[in-house]
Amino acid sequence: MIEFALSKKQQELKEALHSLGRHVIRPMSLDMDRNKEVPESFLRNFMMMSRGVRSDDIAEFHEGTPRKERDPSKPSESNRTAVIAAEELAWADAAIPLSMPGPGLGAPPVRATGTPEQKKRFLGMFRDMDTGPLKWGAYGLTEPGAGSDVAGIRTSCRKDGSHWVLNGRKCYITNGGRAVWTVIFATVDPSLGRAGHRAFVVEKGTPGFEVGKIEDKMGLRANETAELVLEDCRVPEENLLGGEEAYRTKEGFMTAMKTFDNTRPLVAAMAVGIGRAAYEYARDFVKQNYVLTRPIPRYAAIADKLAKIGRRLEAARLLVHRATYLADMNIPNAKEASMSKAAAGQAATLACIDAIEICGAHGTLSSEHALLEKWFRDIKVYDIFEGTGNIQRVVISKRIVSNLKSF
Amino acid sequence: MIAFEPTEDQRLMQQAVAEFAKATLLPRTRELEHARGVPEDIRRTAHEMGLGLVTAPEAAGGQGQGLVTSVLIEEELGAADAAAAFGLAGPGAFGRAVIELDGPERAAELLAGFADEGGWDRFGAVAWSEPAPCRTHEGFATRAERIDEGYRITGKKAFVGNAALADRFVVFAQVEPDRGWGGIGAFVVRRDNPGLRAGERHKTLGLDAASFGEVVLEGAVVREADRLHGDGSEEGFTRAALRFFVKHALVVAARAVGLARFAFDLAREHCDTRVAFGKPIGHFQAVAFTLADRAMDVETSRWLVWKAAAAWDAGLHEREALLASARAAAHAFEATMRTADDCVQLFGGSGFIRDLVAEKLMRDAKQLMLAAPTAEQLDQLASAIELGQKLDPALVLPTPDTQAIFT
């Protein structure tokens, strides 16, 4: 059936997160931005609270293994539910979903490529956060010399006995400084391209694995972005994701790249959340400050702008729903995931720009009640990280143009 | 639960219409264009399939299907020949108008004959636009004066779909000139009414197989029972009129989605096969990215249209369904125009030559954008809903501030 209504469970989750966002997160949003930190007390409370709210689907999404036996006739809703939660939290403050304790962006490669033992070991360690310390996982792919051109990474790995020795530098790693482990991509030989890539789970405290600079950013300031340095870092062979067997074929790397099919819609949903926040702000500003007349509003150009923001965001949201629907149905969705990310990054960035314009000078002010300038700073990176808008178009192009291997 | 899967029944119907469109409409699209109409044999086939009565109530010989089924079918027609979708027999906009404006109870009476054997040659029409905006008062220039027998209607309508073919019309006219848009009414006028005649047929940019023309009312007398009252209140009538216009836009938008899909597929195939500078042109980034953007346009348009149709079928709050429809149709119209334009552009010189269908798609796309409330009007409506303004038909009707539109 063609349906766009949320399930009861999803609706309840959305409402709970919305209420939390409005009453708790938004009021502290500006302080978090200034202090460059999401208070740990909040995160802990959130984790406690969300035990009641958090559906098994969300838990499954983050931890990678179903909490209970799943009825095979009932497909999972976990991807669809996760994006609804992500949009709602980002609507409140986008630094929150990105700073949430858990394996984060590190989970999908472990889930997709990890052996059963690795999954148990690296994902299982997040289950005791209710009582123990908060923990984060991270994903380390980007390097100073390789951003969009993922195949060009230079971080090296070489086998030495029962260890791998890693050397190189990773940058722009979300939660990289605080992570208990990071999935690090390295290469046995740069001339092999993707076939030479290996993915390791590198644990915090491993000798030779250091946190470099913590970045000072335009937006998403409350979320940590770190540089990671690997100097003769010896990683036990058990930490090679999937074991050596997984890399005999080219599949190994491709599986690791499938990470993005799950995370891109999630990131796109957050972008929609920020865009929606800006849109609602501008809409309410117009409602309260403009003299609106009918039949055609005197401010037709403003109405036109608002409507266009609204429908671009809705279009992006539907691409997100579409991509996650396919994921839940176990249908390949790389094209759709990239579409959602490309559309959302663009739509939400334009939404923030136009919202500022509609509100005029007021839109540039910064206070607890005026977060528009913050969203304007936060949103830009959504058209950059998890693959830039142009990279998404490369992914889409390869799936609509025949025999297109690369440009 | 969010799902993008038509029901089995919908899929079968979609498939049957797709086959008809591909086998019957597509190969003859130029023939239809030159004939400036849909030939008898095609209309007979479509009538036997019940195409014109899919959403008509069962009491009127229809299938009583919802809007989701309707948009699925309209997309398939549009993907072969959007003009033919207008030129097939059936109650069309007339059917939607009487059901919205008078409720389904009288549908059997007002839609009599469409399901009969002779239904293949029966058309309905809705006359709302006028050749020029009314300068003397807010509202329609066409007047409906109260007389003892009912009303006498005088004026001229333009841009009316099937004006010369229809055997029954819904005519919008001003009943109380001093009450502006609150003083309008809608009347059923039959072809055999001596006060009604079809005026000149318009020569149009595109959609040649559809027929748009003038309707002249020279003191057409109708009974009180021929006035469509909605629920009897002014507010009720206004909302019913808005529902009609917006649902009409949604159906036209579904055809636009089909046209966009057609144009996209054509362009993609060309980019796969046309070789320049030693490789298929689709292997150049500027071309491939254009295709990627248009692929997003096609998909977003389709999902927005589905969501809006599902909103009506699910009985969502009226403002919500109106908003979803306004957004969907506005987006689909613009996206379709972009897609058809890029299709011609990617073909280069050959896109401009009539040997190829690309140029026709571009002309049809522009005409489609004017065959229902326009994107600009729908954006104004969407903003009026979002800003909590009073909704009235002026938002989607031709006023001195907006352009004339086709029904």
Q: In this complex, do A314 and B327 lie within 8 Å of one another by their Cβ atoms?
A: yes
Asked if pLDDT for residue B405 goes beyond 70, the answer is no
Which residues constitute the domain of residue A291?
Answer: 258-400
Say if residue A184 is in the same domain as residue A218.
yes
| Catalytic machinery residues of A | 386
Pairing of strands B124-127, B168-174: parallel
Give me the pLDDT at residue A300, please: 81
Give me the pLDDT at residue B119, please: 95
Give me the pLDDT at residue A403, please: 95
Q: Is residue A129 part of a domain?
A: no
| B residues 261-280 closer than 8 Å to A (CB) | 268, 271-272, 280
Nearest to B309 by CA among B296, B322, B295: B322
Cβ neighbours of residue A218 closer than 8 Å, sequence gap 6 or more = A377, A380, A381
Say if residue A336 is in the same domain as residue A303.
yes
Q: In this complex, do B280 and A401 lie within 8 Å of one another by their Cβ atoms?
A: yes
Q: Using 50, 70 and 90 to split pLDDT, how confident is the model at B404?
A: very low
Amino acid at B285: Q
Q: Does B326 touch chain A (CB under 8 A)?
A: yes
Q: In this complex, do A2 and B296 lie within 8 Å of one another by their Cβ atoms?
A: no
Say if residue A310 is in the same domain as residue A207.
no
The Cα–Cα gap between B253 and B337 comes to 11
The CATH number of the domain holding residue A349 is 1.20.140.10
The Cα–Cα gap between A356 and A364 comes to 7
Give me the pLDDT at residue A61, please: 52
Query: How many structural domains are present in chain A?
Result: 3
List the structure tokens of A314. Answer: 């809705």
Give me the pLDDT at residue A261, please: 78
The Cα–Cα gap between B359 and B362 comes to 5
How confident is the model over B32-52, as pLDDT tens digits? 999 999 999 999 999 999 999
Q: How far is B268 from chain A (nearest CA, A)?
A: 7
Say if residue A284 is in the same domain as residue A371.
yes
List the structure tokens of A23. Answer: 């009453």
How confident is the model over B293-337, as pLDDT tens digits? 999 999 999 999 999 999 999 999 999 999 999 999 999 999 999
How confident is the model over B99-127, as a mean pLDDT? Answer: 92
CA nearest to B138 within chain A: A295
Q: Between B271, B300, B324, which is nearest A343 by CB? A: B300
How confident is the model over B159-180, as a mean pLDDT? Answer: 95
Beta bridge partners of A185: A199
Q: Is residue A407 part of a domain?
A: no
Cβ neighbours of residue B41 closer than 8 Å, sequence gap 6 or more = none
Last residue of a domain, one of A190, A213, A248: A248
Asked if pLDDT for residue B162 goes beyond 70, the answer is yes
Q: Is residue A1 part of a domain?
A: no
Q: Is B338 helix (H, G, I), strand (E, B) or coil?
A: helix
The Cα–Cα gap between B203 and B367 comes to 12
How confident is the model over B125-144, as a mean pLDDT? Answer: 90
Q: In this complex, do B3 and A300 lie within 8 Å of one another by their Cβ atoms?
A: no
The Cα–Cα gap between B151 and B143 comes to 9
Say if residue A240 is in the same domain as residue A268.
no
Q: Is residue A39 part of a domain?
A: yes
Q: Is residue A2 part of a domain?
A: no
How confident is the model over A32-63, as pLDDT tens digits? 999 999 999 999 998 888 775 554 545 555 55
Disruptive mutation site among A148, A306, A397, A398 for chain B (greatest number of B CBs within 10 Å)? A397
Disruptive mutation site among B383, B385, B397 for chain A (greatest number of A CBs within 10 Å)? B383
Q: Does B389 touch chain A (CB under 8 A)?
A: yes
List the structure tokens of A276. Answer: 């929606």
| B residues 163-222 closer than 8 Å to A (CB) | 181
The Cα–Cα gap between A38 and A93 comes to 10
Q: In this complex, do A318 and B307 lie within 8 Å of one another by their Cβ atoms?
A: yes
Instruction: For CA atoms A306, A310, A312, A313, give the dihedral sign.
Output: positive
Give me the pLDDT at residue B348, please: 95
| B residues 63-82 closer than 8 Å to A (CB) | 68
Q: In this complex, do B282 and A404 lie within 8 Å of one another by their Cβ atoms?
A: yes
Last residue of a domain, one of A98, A124, A150: A124
Disruptive mutation site among A302, A401, A407 for chain B (greatest number of B CBs within 10 Å)? A401
B384 in Cβ contact with A303 (< 8 Å): yes
Beta bridge partners of A233: A166
Q: Does B300 touch chain A (CB under 8 A)?
A: yes
> Which residues in chain A are closer than 8 Å to B392, comparing Cβ atoms?
294-295
Q: In this complex, do B296 and A343 lie within 8 Å of one another by their Cβ atoms?
A: yes
Say if residue A232 is in the same domain as residue A302.
no
Q: Between A2, A5, A318, which is nearest B5 by CB? A: A2
The Cα–Cα gap between A125 and B386 comes to 46
Query: How far apart, in Å, are the Cα atoms of B134 and each of A121, A295, B144, B151, B180?
Result: 76, 15, 14, 20, 11
Q: Is residue A253 part of a domain?
A: no
% of chain B beyond a pLDDT of 90: 86
Which helix (H) or strand (E) covers residue B135, if one does?
none
Give me the pLDDT at residue A112, please: 83
Half-sphere exposure of B191 (CA within 13 A, CB side): 12
What's the start-to-end Cα distance of chain A, in Å? 39
Predicted ipTM beyond 0.90:
yes
How confident is the model over B178-206, as a mean pLDDT? Answer: 94
Say if residue A148 is in the same domain as residue A170.
yes
The domain B238-391 is classified under which CATH number: 3.20.20.70, 1.20.140.10, 1.10.3720.10, 3.30.70.1230?
1.20.140.10
Say if residue A38 is in the same domain as residue A155.
no
The Cα–Cα gap between B357 and B343 comes to 10
- Which residues does chain A have with pLDDT short of 50? 55, 57, 64-65, 67, 295
Q: In this complex, do A407 and B376 lie within 8 Å of one another by their Cβ atoms?
A: no
Give me the pLDDT at residue A154, please: 95
Query: How far apart, in Å, are the Cα atoms of B315 and each of B67, B308, B309, B320?
Result: 11, 11, 10, 10
Last residue of a domain, one of A69, A103, A124: A124
> Which residues in chain B are closer than 8 Å to A6, comparing Cβ atoms?
1-2
